[in-house]
Structure 1
Amino acid sequence: METKNQSTATTESNKQKLVIVREFDASRELVWTAWTDPESCKKWWGPKNFTCPVCEIDFKVGGKYLNCMRSSEGKEFWSTGTYVEIVPMERIVCTDSFADEKGNVVSATHYGMEGFPLELFVTVSFEEHDNKTRMTLTHQGIPSRKMTDLTSASWNESFDKLAESIK
């Protein structure tokens, strides 16, 4: 599946805002489902060489998600968040935090990382464009340019997997 990739980062009061725009050769419904259906999400969540053995989604405003990314060495990284806004087929806004396997928010130091706030924000929008879907992800609150670059690489590897999963 062909996708176009564009990433930018800006600084806002010592926190980075990452914006990634991807175009998928798939319907908006398929791309939306990849974000909202746990079994679909398991197919692409996490960068290359990672799997997603656990994906729980309570997809409603105020509902929570809990995801596990497992490295090829077996190290697990858990994340959780709360859905803040849902506009069907158009936009998802949620918090994003490191977590333990029970969904409790933990500091980034739990995973050997420094400087992350306990809560970040993710906005994903979906637009039909030339019989394709343009998806824009905005990840706000990343602590440094270095971490923004690493986060961008991870998201883009995940989105490469997403493209493959919706062929």
Structure 2
Amino acid sequence: MFCLLGHRISKFRFFYIREILRIVQNLITSNLGLLIFKSQLMFSIVQQDHLTVKSELSLLNQVQEWFEQFCLQHLSQLGWSKTQLDRLNLALAEGFTNAVRHAHHALPPETTIEINIYLWIDRLEIRIWDYGKPFNPDAIAEPEPGTLQVGGYGWFLLRRLADRVVYERGADGRNCLLIVKYSQEAQK
């Protein structure tokens, strides 16, 4: 009798454990599926555009108008505020101006600057590519409040306008200024 009772308890435990494992597996699978789905959304480009212009300050208006058109078509529909778009436009202007004035100052005006915009579900990335000599942005001293200094304000301004700013030398010999702004939803 004890053996038969032990068998029933074991059978019950096995069934119970198997049922718990099935439930846990379903939870893990569904959460994992949700996580994968969210990851795919976060790592998928929703929209992108590209512009190549010569190194001329007179083309800044063209660059800004191109960017504004992209924003009107794509960002405003996703709930990006006018303030965010204005900040990004100013950051783009500063990055483009720095590429023309500093990176390409010794290069012919025909030298191109390439600009890429990538809209992700949670952020917008602007990449400005130039052919100038690289510089170390960490070597630029941040202006002290209330003091005047020559240079450095553009880099300071860029870091205040964007959520992330990265400057790197690419393997192809170009420099890339990456400007990232996260959507208000992603910041919550």
More strand by share: 1
What TM-score do you get using the length of structure 1 for normalisation? 0.31
Give the TM-score taking structure 2 as reference length: 0.28
